[in-house]
């Protein structure tokens, strides 16, 4: 395989939502700890997250919501981060991830991204004229020896990974909650399949394990077979 092995790892509601609502001010990490019946079992998700791959793929939009453009610089971790970003991260946000990451790779189509003003030994930039997740993954493996990577992005980007057949495994923690809302981000958003000619774009899964966690949480692990 000319790219890393990928695993989609997410926390979602029983109805597949990855956010409490459609507003950017709402966020699972911020809001679930306030809710009786959810907060008690939530730490299990973060414990599992600590066991995921040493390469992690996320987006600047999500990290902006989490406040990295204002947070003080963190301590170094053994994890290498890849962020897709064109406009959400400031220079401080870039420095935040340089401080946090073993290696930090920015994927962008913005030739004027603030990252170009940052000089750090562990900062690497993959700039593309048109976004290609497949080419980016191949470059991560070839140039940076990335063999396995955990994907923790939003519903729209998850859809791009799915349609391009770039998921190998799916590892989902299901929270005991129903959220609803047509505009609320789901595990897989993006364009819908509209004809039987597109059915080959489905992600067919084989269940590897199903574990009941405390507080009515469930962990589901699948291998993508087509």
Phi, psi of 200 (to 5 degrees): -70, -5
User: Using 50, 70 and 90 to split pLDDT, how confident is the model at 24?
Assistant: confident
How far are the Cα atoms of 81, 96, 222 from residue 103, in angstroms, in the given order?
Answer: 7, 12, 28
Residue 1: per-residue pLDDT: 84
Q: What is the sign of the dihedral through the CA atoms of 169, 175, 178 and 182?
A: negative
Q: Domain residues for 97?
A: 5-224
Q: Is the pLDDT of residue 9 over 90?
A: yes
Calpha distance 76→136 (Å, rounded): 24
Mean pLDDT of 41-45: 98
How far are the Cα atoms of 188, 208, 210 from residue 222, in angstroms, in the given order?
Answer: 15, 5, 9
Place of tokens 């993006």: 190
127-182, pLDDT tens digit by residue? 999 999 999 999 999 999 999 999 999 999 999 999 999 999 999 999 999 999 99
Mean pLDDT of the chain: 97
Count of domains in the chain? 1
CATH of the domain at 108: 3.40.430.10
Contact criterion met (CB below 8 Å) for 55 and 79: yes
Residue 53: per-residue pLDDT: 98
Residue 184: per-residue pLDDT: 97
How far are the Cα atoms of 60, 124, 126 from residue 129, in angstroms, in the given order?
Answer: 18, 17, 10
Q: 3-state DSSP call for residue 99?
A: helix
Contact criterion met (CB below 8 Å) for 97 and 88: no
171-208, pLDDT tens digit by residue? 999 999 999 999 999 999 998 999 998 999 999 999 99
Contact criterion met (CB below 8 Å) for 88 and 64: yes
What percent of the chain stands above pLDDT 70? 100
């Amino acid at each position: 395989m000319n790219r890393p092995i990928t695993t989609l790892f997410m926390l979602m509601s029983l109805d597949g939502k990855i956010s409490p609502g459609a507003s950017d001010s709402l966020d699972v990490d911020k809001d679930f700890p306030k809710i009786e019946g959810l907060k008690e079992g939530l730490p299990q998700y973060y414990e599992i997250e600590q066991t995921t791959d040493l390469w992690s793929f996320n987006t600047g939009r999500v990290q902006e919501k989490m406040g990295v453009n204002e947070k003080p610089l963190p301590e170094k971790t053994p994890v290498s981060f890849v962020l897709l970003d064109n406009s959400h991260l400031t220079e401080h946000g870039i420095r935040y991830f340089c401080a946090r990451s073993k290696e930090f790779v920015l994927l962008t189509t913005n030739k004027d991204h603030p990252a170009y003003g940052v000089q750090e030994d562990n900062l690497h930039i993959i700039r593309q004229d048109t976004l290609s997740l497949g080419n980016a993954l191949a470059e991560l493996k070839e140039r940076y020896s990335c063999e396995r990577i955990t994907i923790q992005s939003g519903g729209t980007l998850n859809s791009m990974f799915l349609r391009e057949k770039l998921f190998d495994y799916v590892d989902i923690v299901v929270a005991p909650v129903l959220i609803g809302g047509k505009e609320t981000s789901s595990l897989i958003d993006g364009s819908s399949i509209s004809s039987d000619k597109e059915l080959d774009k489905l992600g067919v899964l084989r269940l590897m394990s199903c574990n009941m966690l405390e507080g009515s949480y469930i962990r589901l692990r699948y291998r993508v077979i087509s």
